[in-house]
Structure formats: structure tokens, C-alpha cells
Structure 1
Amino acid sequence: MEQRRISMADIVVGKPLPWDVYDSNNKLLLRKGHVVQREQQVETLVLRGLFVTATSDSAGSIQPGPAAVRPIERPSALRLLNLATKRLERLLFNLHNESELYPKIVEVVAAIRFAVDINPDVALGCILLNQDAGSYPVRHGVDCAVVSLLVARAMNKPPQEAQAIMAAALLMNVGMLRHHEHLHRCEQPLSAEEHALIRNHPEQSASLLRDAGIADENVLNYVLLHHENEDGSGYPRGKRSAEIPENAKILALADRYCARVSSRLYRKAMLPNAALRDILLTEKKNIQPLLAACFIRELGTYPTGSFVRLVNGEVGVVTGRGSSTTTPVVHALIGPRGAPLSFPIRRETHKELHAIREVLHEAQAGVRISMQQLWGTEAAL
């Protein structure tokens, strides 16, 4: 059966569906004539993927079936990630009221994976440019899942392993979920009790997840060990290199990077290149060298979403990979004399005139953007 993807906009709450709706595995989700009653139902369906049947014309091209009366828009990675964040928030804050929790988490994982497949640059850019989407502890899990997936794929991890790492990313901080936002916004030094909460949260998270019916030992183990270090200085068990699964190490690196580039009340977000340098140089004794190298290859020296100033004086945003990890593609937004450009201009930073001179905080860049301005409909809200 040929399929065409439909979007959230094609389902009108309160009106009968004009077609049967399927997921990406051809499983029937809703029959023609079904009336969707709530926006929340639409969001849940979008996370699973929405498809209608399509037919082929005489030339062999795929055409919408007779019931698909509206054009099919290109899916948005940004919108999918925002929906995944909303869905995850509801699941985590109602942990013990959810039946079959893990299959629902796997649906969120699938939505994030699909967003990365649509456009990995948009997914990475969201970590830096979409920080207002959802509460910090929930959004942080989604950000870590994106990074973990990219690194796992680069290391040729099997899909089931990548899924387990991503699920652990979404669940790793549930043990301090209701305290995480407070800790994120805290302007004072942490108390002894707060330090204890942080050190105990991996064990607390694993315990809560087991009580909630999650039985995947790999997921529970990655959650338990995502703050361990190569030299045994981590917590909660003080395990050393060979005792820590490589997949837990992937999660740990993603966690450290995403935490550093998130802004806090008591400090600015670290510049992304400085965050990488801080992790990979000052903490190099705690990180497996091969994993560090893979991390740099996937994120680049100037991660996607970074604001930069070029040698010619233009200011722009890193929008994707270039010819090397140090020469990404940049779209310029402000001209050499400080005037906003009419539209973003693509710059190849391996060229001397357009090389990156410095990385900027968003406030220093002095420009407000929408992600759609940079990536088009794949970053539409």
C-alpha cells in the first residue's frame, strides 16, 4: 500500500476524517468518518506518524488518493520535537498513573528519531535556538536524545541500542524531576540536601522507573550510570572505565554538553564551542578518547545553531556541516556594517573571507530569528 504523509493541519477537531489514517507501519489508527474530539489526540497521533493511502497515475508517480483533498505539506522537525516535548512532559509528571509507560516512551523516541531523519541540522539547532520550548528538565531530555541518536548512529550502533539510549535520555532525571526546575533556576549555592539529591538521582530514577513497570535492564542501567566517570570519580557507584557500558558513556557526554549550553539564572549559557572544549579538554581523563572524537565529528567545532561573526564582519548562524568540523555552513543575517540583511545568505566558511572569527552569545549577535527563516518548512512551528 502506497502512503502519503499528512500533517497536523489536515485533521480538524470535531469534524469527521475524510480518509483512513495509518501509522508508518501501515497499522490502521483511525477509520474514515472518525471524529477527533481533542487537540491532545491530534498531538498523540502526529507523534506516531500520520499517513493516508495514495494511488499511482499512469506515469508511475505517487498521487494523493481521492479522499486526500488538501496538499500534503512537508513535515517539520521543529514541530515534531515540540510535540515530543509536550507528550514527554505529560508522561513524566504522571509517571505512576500511566499504563504501559514504556511503549509510550518508545513512541516519543520514534517521534524524535523521525525529526532527526527529516533534518538533523534542525534537530541540533533546536538545542541552542529553541530553549523556550517546554520546561528545562523535559526539554533537556529531548535534547540529549537527539545528540545521543546522532552519536550512536555514527558509531554504527544497532537501532535497538540507539532506542534504549534515547529512552534513557528521556527518563534519566525523573528521580529529581520536581526539583530540577528549581535547581536549574537557583541563584544561590546549592545546599547539602540539594547536593545529596543530585548525587542520588540516578538511583532514585532507576528505582522509580522499575516501580512504574519499565523492565528493560539496559535502559535502567544507562539511567543508573549516566554520571559515572572513566577514573571512578563519578556517582552514584564510583564505577571505572570497563565497568561502564559504552552506551551510558554516550548518554553522559550528551547530558554534559546539553546542560552547559542551556542558560541559567545564575550564569549565561556557555558558548557551544567553549562547552565542547570544557568537556573534552578539562574533563578528558573522564572521557573515552574515541568517543570524544566521534562527538566532535557529529557536533563540529562550531555546533549547529551557534551565532558567529565572520572575518568579513557579517554575523550569522551555523546551519549545517561544511567540508570539515571547523568549517561549517553559516547563513549570514547581518551585514559587515551592522545592517540586517534582507534574507539569510549562505556562506561557506572554508573560504578565507567567510571564515569564522568568533562565536557570539545570542545577545551579542543582536538579531532575532525564527528557525523557519533559516531552514524553511522543516523548521516551521
Structure 2
Amino acid sequence: MEQRRITMSDIVVGKPLPWDVYDSNNKLLLRKGHVVQREQQVETLIVRGLFVTAKRDGAASAQGAAATARHTERPSALRLINLATKRLERLLFNLHSESELHPKIVEVIAAIKFAVDTNPDVALACILMNQDAGSYPVRHSVDCAIVSLIVARAMNKPAHEVQDIMAAALLMNVGMLRHHEELHHREAPLSDEEHGVIRSHPEESVSLLRGAGVVDENVLSYVLLHHENEDGSGYPFGKGSADIPENAKIIAMADRYCARVSSRLYRKSMLPNAALRDILLTEKKNIQPMLAACFIRELGTYPTGTFVRLVNGEVGVVTGRGSSTTTPIVHALVGPRGAPLSFPIRRETHKELHAIREVLHESQAGVRVSMQQLWGAEASL
């Protein structure tokens, strides 16, 4: 018999449990085959720290597992990300009453990794198409963790460094968490006090995290330095390039990109391609060129989830990587004459007729679409 604690990536809503579930006193709570019907039930199981027990008996067990895998649908990356966001929100807003924060953050990281491994296109599209999920500061941290994970893996970072990068991305703004939502929607100029909150939040975040039992010095260092710049113009210490860990730079650039593509009450979000261009042009002294190139290579000139108009007049959404960073896969939603199509049609944008002509805001696209319509069950709610 093997016992381990349940994590968010273990349970799929609507699917039978593949094992019995016990509490920490080894009392049976749910039998194998029970179907969890709601995300709230999943959250309850995780919060209570329940355990699963699986029997291992050689080849028969392996064959049974293989049969189960063949008949089990892949989980929804969108649902996993939303669940991770809810879990993180509860942890961060109750930081003072949380004990053993680090292992709980590891669970959130595991769920995000599982979502990205399930469908990286859905995970990236969530940054643009799932902006109503959760409060802005928490959703922003999850978005940054997704981008940081993809970039760190592309840079062949060791697994333990990827883990630390994601932890820091999720925790980096805890020092201004309760101000972040208000500042996100602020139309008037910031006061001196509000500027002070912003500039001091890396140090405040580290102080709060130490108080919550986070002792990993790498994680704390990345949190502390994620607003430093290459040219020494950042804060809180004005450190230059050589004194900023590369992993903190990854988080910093993810932070810049995700902030630009998020909408505000007083302005539309920046178009994704414009956000990348803005970072490269207006902040070129603040970022490492090699890192910027990696971001463009992994996100593409037209990141997944971007609404576009094609040369033939069709309107669609970027749904995946194509043959180059400038020729992604698009699924058309609106025909050349402005009529919605009966179902999304895949277009290869390296072909002249289906090349991308312009990038659109969702409000300009003239059609509403769910992520599930584009990616199927792996983007179901």
C-alpha cells in the first residue's frame, strides 16, 4: 500500500476517483470510483489535506493503469489553472494565518505545471482570454508563473530552478496584495504614499514570506530583485545587470508582458504583439537582449489567444505555434463578409491568402467565443 497527500492535479471534476481517499487518521472518506462533481469539492479535499492509498501488485496493476489511461480523457488545462488561481488567492489573502506556506505553494505550482503539460497553448491563451478568473493581483501572478515556466524550460533551466522561479512569480507581489487591485484600476495619478508602496513592496513581500515560513533564499532573492533593471534604474536597490540573477530577470520580463496585456478600467489592454514591441523599444535598456529573444521565440510575434484579421478578410484567434514565430496557427471564426462561421476553421498563416493582416482587440472581432470551442475538452470549464 502507498499513501500520499492529494494535490490539485490529482482530481478531475466529473471523472471517477482512481483510488480510495482517506483522512490523516486513515479513515475511509471516498471510495474508488466516486465522481467529484464540483470544483468546490476538490478545494475542500485539498484544504483538509486528505490522502489517497493505492495498492501495487505487479503486472496486473500496470495493465489496469494502462487500461484506465486509455479510457480517461485528458483533464482541462483551463480548469486546472482556474483552480490553482482560487487556491493561491486563498493562501495569499490569509497569509498571516497560514502555516507551512511553502508546501502549499508547491501544490499550486504542480497544478500549473500539469496544466501547461496538458496543453501549453491553452495555458498561454488563458493570459489573454481568461482575464475574469480571480482577482487581478492573483491572476496576474499565475499568468507570470505560466510565462516564466515556459521560458525557463526553453532556456533548459534545471527542474529545481524552474520550481524556484515559479514560486517567486506566485509570491512576488504579496507585499502590496491589498493595494494591487485598487492600483490596477486607478485612473488618477498616484500619490507619493502609493509610489512608496510600489517601490517598497519587494522588501515587504520578503518580510511577509519569511514570517510565513518561506526560507528558500533563492525564492526570496528573486522576489526581492524582480523590479531591478539592467541599467541600474530599478528598485529597491538600483542594482545593475551583473548583480541581478537571471532567474529574477525572467520573472521581471514576464511581469512586464502580463501587466501590459491586462485590461484596465481606464484603458484597453495592449495588443499582445504591441506589448512585446513596447518592451523591446521603450525598455531596451532595462532588459537582457538574449532573454528578450527567448520570450519572442516562445510566445511568438502573435501569442496564443490573440485575435487577428487575415488577408482574406476572415477574423480568428491564434491557437498554436506554426512554422515560425510570425506564422502561427489560427482558427477562423468570422468569414470574409463578416458572417460568423458555423465552426472554427484551421488556417495556416504561412500561406499567402491566410497570412495575418492585423491584430485586433476582442471587441473589434465581432464574435464571442469560448476557449472550449477552440481547444475542446482541454479548455472546458
Q: When the two structures are superposed, what TM-score results if normalisation uses the length of structure 2?
A: 0.89
Report the CA distance between 1:32 and its aligned residue.
5.3
Counterpart of 1:9? 14
Report the CA distance between 1:90 and its aligned residue.
0.3
Counterpart of 1:123? 123
Counterpart of 1:192? 192
Report the CA distance between 1:9 and its aligned residue.
1.8
Residues 133-178 of structure 1 show CA distances to partners (whole Å, capped at 9, x for unaligned) of 0000000000000000000000000011011111111100000100
Task: Give the stretch that moved more between structures: 86-95 or 38-47.
Answer: 38-47
CA distance in 2, matches of 1:19, 1:157: 34
The letter for the 2-side match of 1:282 is T
Q: Which runs of 5+ in 1 are unaligned?
A: 12-16, 23-27, 66-70
Counterpart of 2:92? 92
Task: Give the stretch that moved more between structures: 44-53 or 255-264.
Answer: 44-53
Counterpart of 1:68? none
Instruction: Specify which of 48, 54, 66 is matched with residue 62 of structure 1.
Output: 66
Report the CA distance between 1:61 and its aligned residue.
8.5
Q: Report if aligned partners of 2:128, 2:262 keep a CA contact under 8 Å in 1.
A: yes
The letter for the 1-side match of 2:313 is G
Report the CA distance between 1:192 and its aligned residue.
1.2
Q: Report if aligned partners of 1:300, 1:326 keep a CA contact under 8 Å in 2.
A: yes
SS of the residue 2:67 aligns to:
strand
The letter for the 1-side match of 2:12 is S
Counterpart of 2:214? 214
1:184–1:363 distance in 2 versus 1, CA, 3 Å:
same
CA distance in 2, matches of 1:264, 1:257: 14
Q: Report if aligned partners of 1:333, 1:344 keep a CA contact under 8 Å in 2.
A: yes
Counterpart of 1:364? 364
CA distance in 1, matches of 2:192, 2:339: 50
CA distance in 2, matches of 1:61, 1:102: 31
The letter for the 1-side match of 2:132 is D
Report the CA distance between 1:46 and its aligned residue.
7.4
Task: Give the stretch that moved more between structures: 146-155 or 274-283.
Answer: 274-283
Q: How does 1:1-381 map to 2 (within 5 A)?
A: 7-10=12-15, 19-21=19-21, 33=31, 40-43=40-43, 62-64=66-68, 72-381=72-381
1:307–1:63 distance in 2 versus 1, CA, 3 Å:
same
Report the CA distance between 1:351 and its aligned residue.
0.4
Identity %: 79
CA distance in 1, matches of 2:320, 2:372: 14
Q: Report if aligned partners of 2:141, 2:171 keep a CA contact under 8 Å in 1.
A: yes
Report the CA distance between 1:37 and its aligned residue.
12
Residues 158-204 of structure 1 show CA distances to partners (whole Å, capped at 9, x for unaligned) of 01101111111110000010010000111211111111111111111
CA distance in 2, matches of 1:154, 1:303: 16
SS of the residue 2:235 aligns to:
coil
Task: Give the stretch that moved more between structures: 367-376 or 280-289.
Answer: 280-289
1:335–1:220 distance in 2 versus 1, CA, 3 Å:
same
Q: Which runs of 5+ in 2 are unaligned?
A: 2-9
Q: Report if aligned partners of 2:202, 2:225 keep a CA contact under 8 Å in 1.
A: yes
1:127–1:43 distance in 2 versus 1, CA, 3 Å:
same
Q: Report if aligned partners of 1:19, 1:31 keep a CA contact under 8 Å in 2.
A: no
CA distance in 2, matches of 1:50, 1:154: 34
Q: Report if aligned partners of 2:89, 2:138 keep a CA contact under 8 Å in 1.
A: yes
CA distance in 2, matches of 1:183, 1:58: 53
CA distance in 2, matches of 1:58, 1:253: 44
SS of the residue 1:9 aligns to:
coil
The letter for the 2-side match of 1:336 is P
1:161–1:19 distance in 2 versus 1, CA, 3 Å:
closer
Deviation >6 Å, runs of 4+: 28-31, 34-38, 46-55, 57-61
CA distance in 1, matches of 2:365, 2:38: 41
Counterpart of 1:14? none
Residues 223-245 of structure 1 show CA distances to partners (whole Å, capped at 9, x for unaligned) of 00000000000001000000000
Q: Report if aligned partners of 1:7, 1:72 keep a CA contact under 8 Å in 2.
A: no
| Count of matched residue pairs | 365
Q: Report if aligned partners of 1:231, 1:286 keep a CA contact under 8 Å in 2.
A: yes
1:357–1:142 distance in 2 versus 1, CA, 3 Å:
same
Residues 24-55 of structure 1 show CA distances to partners (whole Å, capped at 9, x for unaligned) of xxxx9977549999964523657999897798
Give the aligned CA root-mean-square deviation in angstroms. Answer: 3.0
Q: Report if aligned partners of 1:44, 1:87 keep a CA contact under 8 Å in 2.
A: no
CA distance in 1, matches of 2:318, 2:241: 34
SS of the residue 1:368 aligns to:
coil
The letter for the 1-side match of 2:13 is M
Counterpart of 1:25? none
Task: Give the stretch that moved more between structures: 90-99 or 43-52.
Answer: 43-52
1:29–1:233 distance in 2 versus 1, CA, 3 Å:
farther
Report the CA distance between 1:64 and its aligned residue.
3.6
The letter for the 2-side match of 1:124 is L
Report the CA distance between 1:19 and its aligned residue.
3.9
Q: Report if aligned partners of 1:7, 1:50 keep a CA contact under 8 Å in 2.
A: no
1:175–1:350 distance in 2 versus 1, CA, 3 Å:
same
1:81–1:60 distance in 2 versus 1, CA, 3 Å:
closer
